């Protein structure tokens, strides 16, 4: 269910690395790698993500996106349909659009699960 964990695990296995080997390359503990893969971490620090990205030879931005810290990297920009009910967006500036997107991300981050 956890996007970040499944993504890392998939890439790790794809490269034929064990949890311990990946941890060694990233210079973090192997237990931490496992916890992240298992989705036991609610907050994985960007520092750790950077290390793992380097060890996996995978774009750092991809991990940041999988962790929900930044928006998906460029490729699919026209991702989704706008939810019905959001209006008056026609004359928004680019900066304002960014702020609206940030706000949406903020709302989702505030959801109680």
Partner DNA sequence: AGATATTGTTGCTTTTAGGTTACACATATG
Partner DNA sequence: CATATGTGTAACCTAAAAGCAACAATATCT
Q: Which residues bind DNA (CB under 7 A)?
A: 18-21, 28-32, 34-35, 38, 40-45, 47-48
Q: How far apart are CA 53 and CA 64, in angstroms?
A: 9
Query: Is 51 buried (19+), middle (13-18) or exposed (0-12) by CB count in 10 A?
Result: buried
Report, in Å, the least distance between residue 93 CB and DNA. 23
Residue 42: CA count within 13 A, CB half-sphere: 3
Q: Which of 47, 65, 112, 113 binds its own copies (CB under 8 A)?
A: 47
Q: Could you tell me the sign of the dihedral formed by the alpha carbons of 51, 23, 42, 81, in that order?
A: positive
Q: Which is nearer to DNA, 52 or 83 (CB)?
A: 52
User: Which residue in 1, 16, 84, 113 binds its own copies (CB under 8 A)?
Assistant: 84
Site for its own copies (CB under 8 A): which residue of 1, 16, 80, 112?
80
């Amino acid at each position: 269910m956890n996007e970040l964990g499944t993504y890392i695990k998939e890439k790790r296995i794809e490269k034929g690395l064990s949890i311990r080997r990946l941890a060694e390359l990233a210079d973090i503990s192997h237990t931490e790698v496992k916890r992240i893969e298992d989705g036991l971490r609610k907050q994985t620090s960007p520092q750790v993500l950077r290390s793992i990205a380097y060890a996996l030879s995978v774009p750092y931005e991809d991990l940041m996106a999988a962790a929900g810290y930044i928006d998906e990297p460029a490729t699919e920009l026209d991702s989704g349909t706008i939810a019905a009910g959001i209006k008056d967006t026609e004359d928004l500036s680019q900066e304002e659009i960014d702020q609206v997107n940030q706000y949406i991300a903020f709302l989702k981050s505030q959801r109680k699960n």
